[in-house]
Amino acid sequence: MGKANVNRCRNSATTSPEKAIYRVSSELGGIEMLDAKYHYQNFSRHSHEGFTFGVIENGAQEFYRTGANHVAPQGSIIIVNADEVHTGHSATEGGWSYQAMYPLPEQLECIARELNPSLTAKGSVIPYFAQPVVYDLQLANQFRLVFDSFKTSDNRLLKETLLYAVLTRIMSKYGKLAYSSAPVIKAQRQLKLVKEFIDDFPSADVSLQELANLAALSPFYLVRSFQKAYGFAPHSYQIQARLRLAKKLLKQGGKISEVAQQAGFHDQSHLHRHFKRAMGVTPGEFAKQVIKQ
């Protein structure tokens, strides 16, 4: 085989028609959606502020969630809870494609309260989905109708109605409720202090010892307990918080180099690497797509 043919074969084996299109819409207070086709994408351990509801259109995805690995084949629905640590990669040689949305906890909490009028106003209601993979053809088709409407329709009332209906259906069929009004033990309060500090100041150059002093815990105990409580060590959680800040700044039209600095990343390439592994798109691709909306 000639050298040119060898190079062509090598190039065709290392490239694939991967795509990832993000949409950020204003309906119901703002909701993110993703239409993606991946072959080599390998999502690192990450989390989202919102829930993940994704319909597998082709192939199959393997992902980690709730302490175990799961496989979602074509036609199934992936569910990941808000702030839940998860991963993702292809479970087939040909890759996988899916459409997903990421509603925020407050959006589902509102629906949960409407579905359960007996809930008191006191205490926060936390929606939760125990099943990582759901096989429900009717619900999957309902999600597809929502995705199609957001791509093709300018009718806000139609899009909001379809979106509200599908979120109500998945919450009523598969959602559970937890309550945050239970007494919090001292150790949990201390860990929450650290989490809230990282959430509020993600770009801060803070040391482990300084976080340990804030929580009045030893550094070793803080790392071990924080990992157990939130699924990330403090440094890894800081990266997630920085990615959330970077997304916010990109949506506001910030330049990537400036966003990287403001969000606390060493440089633009550092932001690029973490963003692609967690979001499935580069910061540049994300910025172009969200600004178009």
Note whether 249 and 262 are within 8 A (CB).
yes
- The residues, ordered by sequence, that sit 6+ positions from 222 with a Cβ below 8 Å of its Cβ are 191, 194, 208, 211, 212, 215, 234
Band of residue 52 on the pLDDT scale cut at 50, 70, 90: very high
∠ CA(40), CA(42), CA(46), 5° rounding? 160
Specify the 3-state DSSP secondary structure of 9.
helix
As a whole number of angstroms, the distance between CA 73 and CA 217 comes to: 44
- Which residues, in sequence order, are bridge partners of residue 33? 23, 101
E-assigned strand segments in 132-241: 133-134, 175-179
Residue 274, CB-side half-sphere exposure with 13 Å CA sphere = 23
At 148-191, the pLDDT tens digits run 999 998 888 898 999 999 999 999 999 988 765 545 566 788 89
Note the pTM of the prediction, 2 decimals: 0.83
What's the pLDDT score for residue 185? Answer: 64
Closest CA to 229 of 130, 84, 132, 104: 84
At 219-247, the pLDDT tens digits run 888 888 898 889 899 999 999 999 999 99
Note whether 130 and 177 are within 8 A (CB).
no
Q: How far is CA 203 from CA 22, 131, 235, 264, 282, in A?
A: 25, 34, 11, 4, 20
Catalogue all structural domains in the chain, each as residue range(s) with its CATH number: 16-179 (2.60.120.10), 186-292 (1.10.10.60)
Q: Angle, nearest 10°, between helix axes 268-279 and 283-292? A: 70
